[in-house]
Amino acid sequence: MPWANADDLILAAGDTIQLQEQMNKVEAFCTWSGMAQAPSNCKASGIIHGTAGKPMDWSVLEPLLQRITINSNPVGLITPDNPFRYLVWTLR
């Protein structure tokens, strides 16, 4: 039985490949330490800048973020039109 939960953690990365690498490190640490993970509570969002420094359209970014998994389970997505409450902050 796990003695702790891995929650209230924010990962930041330069692209979705690096984000998945960070997720893999969290998985490995949780397995090693006995921490429980709740993939249904995990969320991903992001801004990836394309040419001319402009953010990519969500329709381009969404399929990239849908590849992010924890324990082979996809994480939920926070869409730009849906603010997300994290601790005491609302992320938009």
What are the tens digits of pLDDT across the range 22-71? 999 989 998 898 888 888 888 888 776 666 667 678 888 888 889 999 88
pLDDT higher than 50, residue 1: no
Q: Based on the structure, what is the number of domains in the chain?
A: 1
∠ CA 66-34-15 to the nearest 5 degrees? 25
Q: What is the pLDDT of residue 82?
A: 77
Confidence (pLDDT) at 65: 87
pLDDT for res 6: 61
Query: Could you list the residue range(s) of the whole structural domain that residue 64 is in?
Result: 4-91
Residue ranges of alpha helices (H) inside 34-83 are: 58-65
